C-alpha cells in the first residue's frame, strides 16, 4: 500500500506543477540569436519583438553576433542552442534539420507561414517536404549603389547591360574617376562579397538552371562556366584604377567601409545588397537627390533575374512561447514594426532602413518610395534565386568558397587552383 | 538583475545539492556497520534512481506526460517504480545469507528492473538483438572477465559481469537504428538478470567487512568528486577527441547517406582485430615465460596486463571499424593533413638559396666563424669561441632558420615558424631588458611600462595592432600609425631641403652610435659595441635612402600592406605576441637575476672577471632553470596561438595556424574528424614539452 501512496503523491505534485505551467505565457522567456549585430538592426529587431513581449508577457531577448555562423554551430552541437536562431543561410537550416537539431514547425505555425509569405520565399525553409523555418527578412542583392548627382555632373548614364556596365567602368577610368568601391573583408566570413558578384554573373550569363546545378554540385566547381564568371569579376576589379579599396587592398577592406567613400565621391559605384543602406553614413539622403540604386544590369535586358537573400527563423525548443514568437516573426506586423523602428533609428525621413520584407499584406506605406520599388521587385520577380553560397553545404558555402575566393582576389592563387580546391572540399 | 538573481539561486542550489549529496553519502555509510539492511535498501534504490534519471535526462526513456498543451510536465514514473524495486533488492540482498535465496532475489529483481527498462526505452535508444555484435560483445566480455578472474584470482562473478557488459555493449553499441520493442525487452531482461546474478553472488558481508567498507568509502567520498571532475574535464574530452579524429565528414553530417556495414565475420580481417589478438597472445606468452622462470605456470605482471588492456582497446576500435566501415577512416585524417599542401607545403624550398635574408644570415654566421678562428690564431688555439664569434654565429643561424619560414608554407609550417621566432625573440628581449634595467636608475618605471602589454588580452592587443597596421589607398590620409610614419618619411625625402636635413640628422645619429661602438670595443664591453653597430644599420640605410634613391614618390605610392602581403604578414602578427610576452619573460628573468647570490658575483670580480664574463659564466648558469621554464612555457603558449591570427586575418593570406584551422574545420565546416585530428596534433606536439617540464619539477623537488 505504501507504494501506492508514493505514486499518488508524485502524481498530485505533478498536477500542481502542470497547473502552474498551463498555457498562460506570462513570465516565460524566449532567447533569439542572430547575425544582425549593428545597433540599428539589432535594436530594431528587439523593438519589434518588444511589442509581442508586451502583449503576451513573454520575456524575449535578442542577441546578435558578427560571427553568428561559427557560434551557432558551437552552440547547437554543444547542446546549448538559443530558443530561436535567425539563419542567414537556408543551407544551414537544412543541415540542422537533417541532423535533428532544429524542430519542424507545428501545423498551425506552418499554416500561418503559408498564409503570411509568398510560396517562393517559404520554399527556402522547407527541407525534404517539411517546413522548418520561416522567412523574416528579404534582401535584394542585384543592386548597384551610386550617387545620381555625380553621374549627372560627369555625364554618365545608368547602364542597361553588362557590357554597357563594363564600358562605363572603362570610360570612368579613362576620365580619371574611380568607378568601383570594393571590399570583401568580413571577419570569419571574408570573401562573401566576391561570391555575390560571381553568383549574380552566373545567373546572368548561364541562367537559373545552370545556377541550380552549380548549387547542388551537379556540375563541378571547376566547370568552365564558373571559371568564366570568376574571371569576369576579377578582370573588372584588377583593371588598373578600377577599384578604390579603403583598406589598401580589396581583401583587407571591410565590406562595410565602402559607404563613406561612395558618399565622398572616392568611387562612383558600389554593388551591394539592399541591406547596405544600414552601412551608409548616418543621415545619408537616399533617392534621386542623394544615394540611389540601379539594377545590376543583365547580359540580356529581356531576361533579368533577381539574386535574393534573407534570413529565416528556426526553433530549437518545442514550447508554446517559442512558437508564439515564431509565428509573430512571420507576420506582416513584425515586418512593419521592425521597419518603423529601423527607419527611426537610421534618422527617419528619406533614409533607407536596410530592412526589406516580402511578407503578404504588408502595409507598404512604412517604406520610402525607393524601398517600395525594391519590395515590388522582390515580390514580383519571375526568376528569384537565393544566394548560392548560403545554399551550399557549410564546408563550401561557409568555408572554402569564401577562403579560396579571398586567395584568388588577393592574387595568392590562380582562379583554376582556387576552383580546384573548392571542388575538392565539397563533402 | 533578474539574470544575476537567477545565477545566484542556481549556484546556491548547486552548492546545496552537492552538500546534501556529500553529507547524505557520509550518513549513508554511517549506517553500514549497524543497519546493514537499510543501507542496502537506500544504496540499491539510490543507484537505480540515479541510473534512471540519467536515462531520463538523456531522453532515452519515455515519461508520463501530465497536462496538455505543447509543453506538458514530464514525470519519469518508471524511475520511481524501479527505485522501489532496487531498494527492495538491496534490502533483501543485505538481509539474506543463503546463497540460493540471494541468487534468486538478484536474478528476479534484476529481471524486473530490466523489464521496466526494456518497456520504457524510446525507440532510438532500443538495443538490437543482432547475432554479430551481441555474440562478439559477449565473447569479448567473457574473455576480459575471464582474464581478470584468472589474473586477479577473482571468482566466476567477473566472468558473469564481463559477459553481461559485453553483451550489452554489443546490443546497444552495434550498428543500425533502434530495434523492435520485443528486442528491447529481451535484451534488457537478459542484461538485468545478468547484473542481478552479479549482485546476488556478492559475498556476505560480516560486521567486520561492513566496518571496513564504511571506512574505505569515506576516503572515496572525498577523492571521488576530484577524480570525477578531472575525468570529466580532461580525460574524457581527450579520449573523445582522439576517437572523433578517426572519422570522416559523413560521420558527423547525417546529411550524407551512410554505407551499410560489412557482415560480422568481416571483423576477422580487420587489422585492428588482428593486432589485438597478437597483443593478447604476446601478453599470455610473456606471462607463461615469467612463470617458467619462477617455477612454472602462468605469472601475470604489469607488462602482460598492459598488453591485455591494449588488446582490449584495439578490439573495441576494431568493433567500430567493422560496424562503421564507411565513416571510420582510421589515420586517414592525419594522412590528409600531412599531405595537404595547405598544411605543409615544402615545394618552394629551393627558393631559400635566393632569399636575401638567408644569405645575410649565412654571411653573418660565417663572419662569426672567421672571427673565432682569427681570435684563436692570436692565442695559439684553433678556434676561440665566445663574445663576438658566438654571438655572430647565433644571430646568423637565427636569421638563417627564420628565413626558412618565408619559403616553407602551410598551416603546420607557419605554426613552427611562430614557435621558433616568438619563443627566441621574446626570451632574448626579456633577458636583455632585465639585464639592462637591473641596477639602472629608472628600473621600476621601465619595467612597469614594458610589463603593461601583459595586462592586455590577446584579442584586445590584436585589435589595437590591426588599427596600427591599416594601409589606406594612395593619396588618402593614413590612419595606421606605421604607414603614417612611412608615408611621412616619403614626403620628407621627396622635398630637397628637408631631405638633406633628415639625412644629416640620420648621419649625426650614426656618428654618435659609432662613437659608442668605439668606446665599447676599446673598453672591452662588446655588448654595447655590437648593440650600437646593429642599431646604426637602419639609420645608415635611411640616410642613404634620403640622399640617394630617395624614399620619395615610391614610398607614397607603396604603403606597406602589413596584413595582406605574404609571407611577412605572419611576422607582423608575431610582433604582437612578442610585444605582449616580452613583459612576462622580463619580469621572470629580473626576479631570477636578483636572486643570484651576491657572493658569487663578488667572488668572480675578485678573481678578475669582467662584467661580461661574470654575466655569461656566473649569472647565466645560475638562471638556466628559469630560462628553461620560460622557454617551455612560451613554446606551449605559441604552439596554441589562436586569438591573434583569428582577429587579424582569420587565417587568410597564408597566415593560417593550427588552432585557427582546427576551429575552421570543426566549427565552420563541421568536419569534426579533421578538426579533432588537428587538435590531437597540437596535443601530441605539446606533450614532450610538458614531459620535460614535469621531469624538471620532479628533479627540483627531489
The answer on pLDDT for B261 being more than 50 is: no
Q: Cα angle at A389 between A387 and A391, to 5 degrees?
A: 75
CA separation for the pair B106, B83 (Å, rounded): 15
The pLDDT value recorded for residue B341 is: 81
- Tell me the pLDDT band of A326, cut-offs 50, 70 and 90: very high
CA distance B619 to B596: 7
Contact with chain B for residue A1, Cβ under 8 A: no
For residue A14, what pLDDT is reported? Answer: 44
Cα–Cα nearest to A297, from A154, A168, A153, A121: A168
B254 touches chain A (CB under 8 A): yes
pLDDT of B527: 64
- Residue found by looking up cell 558551437 in the block: A74
**B664 touching A, CB under 8 A?**
yes
Asked whether the beta carbons of residue A399 and residue B563 sit closer than 8 angstroms, the reply is no
How does DSSP assign B69-106, residue by residue?
A: SSS-EEE-HHHHHHHHHHHHHHHHHHH---HHHHHHHH
* pLDDT of B423: 95
**Which pLDDT belongs to residue B255?**
45
pLDDT in tens, A354-392: 888 888 888 888 888 888 878 877 776 667 788 898 888
Q: What is the pLDDT of residue B528?
A: 67
Query: Taken in order B331, B333, B334, B335, is the CA torsion positive or negative?
Result: positive
Section B228-235 average pLDDT: 77
- Beta-strand relationship, A59-64 and A29-34: parallel
Highest mean pLDDT among A406-420, B250-264, B276-290: A406-420
Residues of A in contact with B64 (CB under 8 A): 14
Q: Do B70 and A318 touch (CB under 8 A)?
A: yes
CA gap A378, A138 in Å, rounded: 8
ipTM score over 0.90, yes or no: no
Query: What is the sign of the dihedral through the CA atoms of B106, B112, B117 and B123?
Result: positive
Q: How far apart are CA A201 and CA B557, in angstroms?
A: 33
pLDDT at residue number A9: 47
pLDDT given for residue B458 in this prediction: 93
Q: Please tell me the predicted confidence (pLDDT) of residue A22.
A: 43
Least confident stretch, A143-147, B71-75, B559-563: B71-75
* pTM to 2 decimal places: 0.72
Which stretch of DSSP H or E encloses residue B9?
Answer: helix B2-34
Instruction: Provide CB contacts within 8 A for B88, sequence distance 6+.
Output: B41, B44, B109
Q: Which three cell numbers, joined as nine digits, stand for B23? A: 553529507
Q: Percentage of chain B surpassing pLDDT 70?
A: 87
Higher per-residue confidence, A57 vs B311 = A57
DSSP conformation letters of B112-163: HHHHHHHHHB-GGG-----HHHHHHHHHHHHHHHHHHHHHTT--HHHHHHHH
Q: Cα–Cα distance between B439 and B4 in angstroms, integer?
A: 50
What is the rounded average pLDDT of the residues B539-552? 68
- Mutation site, B6, B340, B564, interface A, largest A CB count within 10 A: B564
Give A23's pLDDT tier (boundaries 50, 70, 90): low
pLDDT at B262 over 60: no
Report pLDDT for A13.
Answer: 46
Residue positions counted in chain A: 427
Residue B479, pLDDT score: 83
Task: Look at residue B564 and tell me whether its pLDDT is greater than 90.
Answer: no
B interface mutation test: which of A89, A248, A318 has the most B CBs within 10 A? A248
Quote the DSSP letter at residue B558.
-
Question: Could you give the domains of chain A?
Answer: 28-140+308-384 (3.40.190.10), 143-304+393-425 (3.40.190.10)
Residue A365 DSSP code: G
Question: Residue A68's pLDDT is what?
Answer: 87
- The pLDDT value recorded for residue A268 is 92
pLDDT digits (tens, 9 = 90+) for B603-659: 998 988 887 788 888 899 999 889 988 999 999 999 999 999 998 888 888 899 999
Per-residue model confidence (pLDDT) at position A235:
92
CA–CA distances in Å: residue B311 to residues A240, A259, B150, B271, B280: 66, 65, 17, 12, 6
**Cell digits of residue A161:** 547591360
Residues 275-294 of A with CB under 8 A from B: none
Q: Is A6 on the interface with B (CB under 8 A)?
A: yes
Q: Quote the pLDDT of residue A82.
A: 93
- To the nearest whole angstrom, how far is the Cα of B197 from the nearest Cα of chain A? 26
The secondary structure of residue B205, as a DSSP letter, is P
Residue whose C-alpha cell reads 568607378 in the numeric block: A179
The DSSP symbol for B257 reads P
**pLDDT, tens only, A277-315:** 778 887 777 777 888 888 888 888 777 788 888 899 999
Query: pLDDT over 90 for what percent of chain B?
Result: 16
- pLDDT class for A197, splitting at 50, 70, 90? very high
Which of B124, B134, B129, B123 shows the shortest CA–CA distance to B181? B123
- Residue A229, pLDDT > 90, answer yes
Among the residue ranges B354-358, B523-527, B571-575, the one predicted with the least confidence is B523-527
pLDDT of A128 above 80? yes
| Average pLDDT, integer, range A402-425 | 90
Q: Residue A107's pLDDT band (boundaries 50, 70, 90)?
A: very high
Question: Using CA atoms, how far apart are residues B196 and B48, in angstroms rounded to an integer?
Answer: 12
| β-strand partners of A134 | A313
User: The C-alpha cell of A83 is what?
Assistant: 530558443
Q: Which residues of B touch A412 (CB under 8 A)?
A: 566, 653-654
pLDDT(B184) > 90: no
Across the A:B interface, residue pairs with CB atoms under 8 Å apart total 129
Q: Has residue B571 got a pLDDT over 50?
A: yes
Partners of residue A145 on adjacent β-strands: A270, A293
Instruction: State residue A15's pLDDT score.
Output: 42
Cell of B633: 612555457
Grid cell in block for residue B254: 547525417
Residues 6+ apart with CB under 8 A from B388: B368, B371, B375, B526, B530
Residue A15 sits at the chain B interface (C-beta within 8 Å): yes
pLDDT, position A415: 92
Read off the C-alpha cell for B332: 586517414
Query: Given pLDDT bands bounded at 50, 70 and 90, which one contains residue A346?
Result: confident
Bigger pLDDT: A268 or B7?
A: A268
High-pLDDT (> 90) share of chain A, %: 37
Query: With an 8 Å Cβ cutoff, are B84 and A3 in contact?
Result: yes
Neighbours of A369 (CB within 10 A): 11
Distance CA(B627)–CA(B633), nearest Å, equals: 10
Residue A231: the pLDDT is 93
**What confidence category does residue B582 fall into, taking pLDDT thresholds of 50, 70 and 90?**
very high
Predicted pLDDT of residue B494: 62
B72 and A CB contact within 8 Å? yes
> What is the average per-residue pLDDT within B484-488?
81
CA–CA separation, A65 and A86 (whole Å): 11
When the pLDDT of each residue in chain B is averaged and rounded to a whole number, the result is 82
Residues B167/B194, Cβ–Cβ less than 8 Å: yes
Which range is least confidently modeled, A41-55, A293-307, B72-86, B243-257?
A: B243-257
pLDDT at A65 over 70: yes
Per-residue confidence (pLDDT) for residue A20, from 0 to 100 = 42
B337 and chain A: CB distance < 8 Å anywhere?
no
Q: What is the pLDDT of residue B228?
A: 77
- What value does the mean pLDDT of chain A take? 85
Among candidates A251, A320, A398 on the partner chain, residue whose Cβ is nearest the Cβ of B653: A251
CB pair distance less than 8 Å for B75 and A14: yes
Contact A252 B473 (CB under 8 A): no
Amino acid at each position: 500500500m505504501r507504494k501506492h501512496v508514493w505514486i499518488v503523491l508524485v502524481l498530485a505534485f505533478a498536477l500542481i506543477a502542470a497547473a502552474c505551467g498551463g498555457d498562460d505565457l506570462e513570465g516565460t522567456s524566449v532567447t533569439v540569436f542572430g547575425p544582425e549585430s549593428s545597433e540599428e538592426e539589432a535594436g530594431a529587431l528587439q523593438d519589434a519583438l518588444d511589442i509581442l513581449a508586451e502583449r503576451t508577457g513573454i520575456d524575449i531577448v535578442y542577441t546578435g553576433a558578427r560571427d553568428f555562423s561559427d557560434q551557432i554551430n558551437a552552440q547547437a552541437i554543444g547542446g546549448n542552442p538559443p530558443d530561436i536562431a535567425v539563419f542567414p543561410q537556408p543551407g544551414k537550416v537544412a543541415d540542422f534539420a537533417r541532423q535533428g537539431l532544429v524542430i519542424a514547425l507545428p501545423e498551425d505555425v506552418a499554416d500561418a507561414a503559408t498564409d503570411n509569405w509568398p510560396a517562393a520565399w517559404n520554399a527556402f525553409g522547407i527541407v525534404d517536404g517539411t517546413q522548418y523555418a520561416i522567412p523574416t527578412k528579404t534582401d535584394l542583392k542585384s543592386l548597384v549603389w551610386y550617387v545620381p548627382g555625380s553621374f549627372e555632373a560627369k555625364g554618365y548614364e545608368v547602364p542597361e547591360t553588362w557590357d554597357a556596365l563594363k564600358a562605363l567602368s572603362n570610360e570612368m577610368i579613362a576620365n580619371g574617376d574611380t568607378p568601383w568601391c570594393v571590399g570583401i573583408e568580413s571577419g570569419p566570413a571574408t570573401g562573401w562579397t566576391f561570391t555575390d558578384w560571381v553568383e549574380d554573373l552566373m545567373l546572368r550569363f548561364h541562367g537559373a538552371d545552370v545556377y541550380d546545378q552549380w548549387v547542388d554540385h551537379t556540375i563541378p566547381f571547376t566547370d568552365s562556366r564558373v571559371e568564366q564568371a570568376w574571371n569576369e569579376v576579377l578582370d573588372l576589379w584588377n583593371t588598373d584604377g578600377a577599384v578604390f579599396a579603403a583598406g589598401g587592398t580589396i581583401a583587407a577592406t571591410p565590406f562595410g567601409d565602402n559607404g563613406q567613400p561612395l558618399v565622398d565621391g572616392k568611387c562612383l559605384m558600389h554593388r551591394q545588397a539592399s541591406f547596405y543602406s544600414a552601412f551608409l553614413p548616418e543621415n545619408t539622403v537616399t533617392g534621386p537627390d542623394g544615394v540611389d540604386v540601379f539594377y545590376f544590369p543583365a547580359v540580356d535586358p529581356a531576361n533579368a533575374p533577381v539574386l535574393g537573400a534573407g534570413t529565416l527563423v528556426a526553433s530549437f525548443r518545442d514550447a508554446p512561447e517559442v512558437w508564439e514568437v515564431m509565428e509573430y516573426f512571420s507576420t506582416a506586423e513584425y515586418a512593419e514594426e521592425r521597419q518603423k523602428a529601423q527607419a527611426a533609428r537610421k534618422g527617419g525621413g528619406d533614409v533607407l532602413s536596410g530592412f526589406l520584407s516580402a511578407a503578404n499584406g504588408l502595409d507598404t506605406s512604412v517604406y520610402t518610395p525607393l524601398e517600395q520599388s525594391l519590395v515590388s521587385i522582390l515580390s514580383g520577380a519571375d526568376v528569384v534565386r537565393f544566394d548560392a553560397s548560403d545554399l551550399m553545404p557549410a564546408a563550401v558555402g561557409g568555408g572554402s568558397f569564401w577562403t579560396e575566393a579571398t586567395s584568388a582576389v588577393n592574387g595568392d592563387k590562380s582562379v583554376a587552383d582556387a576552383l580546384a580546391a573548392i571542388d575538392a572540399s565539397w563533402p | 538583475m533578474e539574470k544575476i538573481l537567477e545565477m545566484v539561486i542556481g549556484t546556491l542550489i548547486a552548492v546545496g545539492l552537492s552538500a546534501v549529496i556529500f553529507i547524505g553519502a557520509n550518513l549513508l555509510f554511517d549506517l553500514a556497520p549497524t543497519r546493514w539492511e537499510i543501507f542496502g535498501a537506500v544504496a540499491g534504490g539510490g543507484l537505480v534512481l540515479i541510473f534512471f534519471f540519467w536515462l531520463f535526462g538523456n531522453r532515452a526513456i519515455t515519461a508520463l506526460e501530465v497536462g496538455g498543451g505543447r509543453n506538458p510536465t514530464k514525470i519519469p514514473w518508471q524511475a520511481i517504480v524501479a527505485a522501489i524495486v532496487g531498494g527492495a533488492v538491496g534490502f533483501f540482498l543485505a538481509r539474506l545469507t543463503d546463497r540460493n535465496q540471494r541468487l534468486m532475489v538478484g536474478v528476479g529483481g534484476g529481471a524486473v528492473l530490466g523489464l521496466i527498462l526494456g518497456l520504457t526505452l524510446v525507440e532510438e535508444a532500443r538495443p538490437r538483438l543482432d547475432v554479430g555484435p551481441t555474440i562478439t560483445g559477449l565473447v569479448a566480455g567473457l574473455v576480459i572477465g575471464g582474464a581478470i578472474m584468472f589474473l586477479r584470482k577473482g571468482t566466476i562473478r567477473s566472468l558473469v559481469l564481463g559477459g553481461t557488459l559485453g553483451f550489452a555493449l554489443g546490443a546497444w553499441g552495434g550498428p543500425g537504428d533502434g530495434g523492435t520493442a520485443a528486442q528491447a525487452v529481451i535484451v534488457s531482461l537478459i542484461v538485468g538478470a545478468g547484473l542481478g546474478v552479479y549482485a546476488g553472488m556478492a559475498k556476505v558481508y560480516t560486521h567486520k567487512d561492513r566496518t571496513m567498507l564504511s571506512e574505505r568509502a569515506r576516503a572515496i567520498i572525498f577523492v571521488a568528486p576530484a577524480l570525477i571532475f578531472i575525468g570529466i574535464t580532461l580525460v574524457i574530452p581527450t579520449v573523445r577527441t582522439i576517437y572523433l579524429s578517426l572519422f570522416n565528414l559523413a560521420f558527423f553530417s547525417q546529411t550524407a547517406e551512410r554505407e551499410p556495414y560489412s557482415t560480422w565475420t568481416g571483423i576477422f580481417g580487420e587489422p585492428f582485430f588482428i593486432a589485438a589478438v597478437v597483443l593478447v597472445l604476446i601478453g599470455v606468452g610473456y606471462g607463461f615465460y615469467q612463470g617458467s622462470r619462477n617455477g612454472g605456470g602462468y605469472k601475470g605482471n604489469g607488462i602482460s596486463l598492459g598488453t591485455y588492456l591494449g588488446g582490449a582497446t584495439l578490439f573495441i576500435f576494431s568493433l567500430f571499424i567493422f560496424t562503421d566501415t564507411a565513416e571510420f577512416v582510421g589515420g586517414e585524417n592525419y594522412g590528409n593533413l600531412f599531405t595537404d599542401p595547405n598544411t605543409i607545403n615544402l615545394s618552394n624550398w629551393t627558393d631559400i638559396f635566393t632569399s636575401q635574408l638567408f644569405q645575410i644570415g649565412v654571411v653573418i654566421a660565417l663572419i662569426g666563424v672567421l672571427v673565432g678562428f682569427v681570435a684563436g690564431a692570436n692565442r695559439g688555439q684553433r678556434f676561440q669561441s665566445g663574445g663576438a664569434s658566438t654571438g655572430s654565429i647565433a644571430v646568423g643561424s637565427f636569421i638563417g632558420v627564420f628565413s626558412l619560414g618565408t619559403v616553407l608554407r602551410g598551416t603546420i609550417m607557419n605554426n613552427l615558424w611562430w614557435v621558433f621566432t616568438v619563443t627566441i625573440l621574446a626570451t632574448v628581449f626579456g633577458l636583455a631588458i632585465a639585464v639592462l634595467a637591473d641596477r639602472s636608475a629608472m628600473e621600476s618605471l621601465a619595467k612597469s611600462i614594458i610589463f603593461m602589454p601583459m595586462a592586455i588580452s590577446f584579442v584586445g592587443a590584436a585589435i589595437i595592432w590591426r588599427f596600427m597596421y591599416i594601409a589606406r589607398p594612395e593619396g588618402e590620409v593614413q590612419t595606421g600609425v606605421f604607414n603614417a610614419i612611412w608615408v611621412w618619411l616619403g614626403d620628407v625625402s621627396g622635398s630637397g631641403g628637408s631631405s638633406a636635413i633628415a639625412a644629416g640628422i640620420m648621419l649625426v645619429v650614426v656618428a654618435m652610435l659609432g662613437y659608442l661602438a668605439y668606446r665599447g670595443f676599446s673598453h672591452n664591453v662588446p655588448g654595447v659595441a655590437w648593440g650600437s653597430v646593429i642599431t646604426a644599420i637602419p639609420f645608415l640605410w635611411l640616410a642613404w635612402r634620403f640622399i640617394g634613391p630617395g624614399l620619395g614618390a615610391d614610398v607614397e605610392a607603396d604603403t606597406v600592406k602589413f596584413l595582406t602581403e605574404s609571407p611577412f604578414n605572419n611576422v607582423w602578427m608575431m610582433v604582437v605576441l612578442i610585444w605582449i610576452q616580452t613583459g612576462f619573460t622580463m619580469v621572470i628573468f629580473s626576479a631570477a637575476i636578483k636572486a643570484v647570490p651576491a657572493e658569487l658575483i663578488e667572488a668572480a670580480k675578485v678573481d678578475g672577471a669582467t662584467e661580461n664574463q661574470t654575466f655569461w659564466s656566473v649569472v647565466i648558469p645560475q638562471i638556466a632553470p628559469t630560462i628553461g621554464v620560460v622557454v617551455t612555457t612560451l613554446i606551449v603558449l605559441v604552439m596554441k596561438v589562436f586569438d591573434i591570427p583569428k582577429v587579424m586575418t582569420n587565417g587568410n593570406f597564408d597566415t593560417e595556424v593550427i588552432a585557427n584551422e582546427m576551429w575552421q574545420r570543426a566549427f565552420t565546416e563541421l568536419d569534426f574528424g579533421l578538426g579533432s585530428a588537428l587538435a590531437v596534433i597540437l596535443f601530441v606536439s605539446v606533450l614532450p614539452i610538458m614531459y620535460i617540464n614535469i621531469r624538471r619539477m620532479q628533479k627540483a623537488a627531489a
